[in-house]
Amino acid sequence: MNIEIHLRKENIDSDPEVILQFGDVIQTQKIINQEQKLHMQGLEHNCDTKLSVRRDSKELYHTSRNHHDNKIFVDKVIVDDFWEFDNSFYTPTTIFDKEYIDHLDKVGTDQWIKNTVNNTHLFFNGRLNWDIKYPVRRSFFKDVNR
């Protein structure tokens, strides 16, 4: 199975890294262009699996900011060359890293950060998680209630 991730960064001042993970498959990629497509191809998918797009830029912890200067936006995720997830459909779950939470304790947080539960913007260190069920349609079609 293939997964395509359409990303965008806020500015061209830096090339932040993201870590893609699908089950045991992990890829680290730099976001060089303002808009970029990342590909995970030939993935084994025979059980429910988490897809995550993660950011772990430690330099944030050497600043007094509570979010990254250069945000990364996940505009679209295409699963199995067909299903399209975005900020209006099957939005990911936001999970902050413990180090990031500890950092917020030091520098202070904001209400908009506290309110972030389902989100497609990586302004933090942590991950956006999608549950990719097997088969994929089970992720959002509730066949069990048919």
Partner 1 sequence: MIVYLGMPKCASTWLWEKIKQNFEYNGDKEPHTLVEFGATENNIVDFSTNNWSMDSSTAKKIDKKVSKYILITRDPVELATSYYLQRRLVGESFDDFMSTLVKTKLLCFGDILERWYDLVGKDKILIYDYNKDIEHKQEKFIKDICKKLDLKNYDQTLPLKDKIFQTHHKPVLRCNDELMKILKEQLNKFYQIKQG
Tell me how far, at minimum, the Cβ of 30 lies from partner 1, in Å.
Answer: 29
How far is 123 from 112, CA to CA, in rounded Å?
Answer: 11
| Residues in touch with partner 1 (CB under 8 A) | 1, 45-46, 80-83, 88-89, 134-138, 140-141, 143, 146
Q: In the complex with partner 1, which residue's Cβ is closer, 61 or 83?
A: 83
Separation in Å, CA 19 to CA 9, 28, 52, 107, 112:
15, 4, 8, 25, 24
Tell me how far, at minimum, the Cβ of 69 lies from partner 1, in Å.
Answer: 33
* Three-class DSSP category at 70: coil
Q: In the complex with partner 1, which residue's Cβ is closer, 62 or 146?
A: 146
The order of strands in the sheet holding 93-96 is: 25-30, 17-22, 49-55, 126-132, 93-96
Q: Are 90 and 136 in contact (CB under 8 A)?
A: no
Q: In the complex with partner 1, which residue's Cβ is closer, 13 or 143?
A: 143
Q: In the complex with partner 1, which residue's Cβ is closer, 45 or 55?
A: 45
Q: Which two tokens stand for residue 99?
A: 């180090």
In whole angstroms, what separates CA 24 from the centre of its chain?
Answer: 16
Tell me how far, at minimum, the Cβ of 135 lies from partner 1, in Å.
Answer: 4
Tell me how far, at minimum, the Cβ of 125 lies from partner 1, in Å.
Answer: 30
